[in-house]
Amino acid sequence: MLFSTKTLNLHKILSINHLKLFTQMSEHNELGNEGELRAQAYLREKGYRIRHTNWRAGQLELDIVAEKDDMLVVVEVKTRTSQALYAPEVAVNNRKIKNIVNAADEYIRRFGWQGETRFDIISVAPMGQEYIIDHIEDAFLPPMY
């Protein structure tokens, strides 16, 4: 099969754009992973015991499940570049809250948790070589269905 120069150039452009997108996604994932590691270290430093990280129930995921003072703490971690125009916790919308609560409900059932549960958000933003961590306790309540 013969390809024209125009087709080959288009293919080259698409390949370059795909590589750029892959690189951006890779950098985004690396930043997110680093943010979650920083959040875990922060929680341990504050006396939390990390029970699970990236716990999955089907398509749903809990970033961090921790425990402190007989309280199960479900933590959503939001990591953003320092150039983000909005606070990372703004990304936790009603749909995300519903997914977190549904996953937490499954977690509680599966592990037989009998105590209280709290939902927190930790935002992580790089600032030079450091990271700014903002921990919002009781960030939201489960919606009433």
* 68-83 burial code (b ≥16 CB/10 A, e <16): eeeebbbbbbbbbeee
Q: Is the pLDDT of residue 90 over 80?
A: no
Is residue 109 in a domain? yes
pLDDT by residue (tens digit) across 16-58?
554 444 444 444 457 668 899 999 999 999 999 999 999 999 9
Is residue 29 in a domain? no
Is residue 31 in a domain? no
Is residue 6 in a domain? no
Percent of the chain with pLDDT over 90: 57
| CATH code of the domain containing 70 | 3.40.1350.10
Q: E strand or H helix at 122, and its extent?
A: strand 116-127
Is residue 117 in a domain? yes
Q: Is the pLDDT of residue 85 over 70?
A: no
Burial class (CB in 10 A: 0-12, 13-18, 19+), 20: exposed
Is residue 22 in a domain? no
The pLDDT assigned to 1 comes to 46
State which residues form the domain around 122: 36-136
Domain count within the chain: 1
Taken as a whole, the chain contains a residue count of: 145
Q: Is the pLDDT of residue 100 over 80?
A: yes
Is residue 130 in a domain? yes
Question: What average pLDDT does the structure give for the chain?
Answer: 82
Is residue 92 in a domain? yes
Alpha-carbon distance of 92 to 80, in angstroms, equals: 13
Q: Is the pLDDT of residue 82 over 70?
A: no
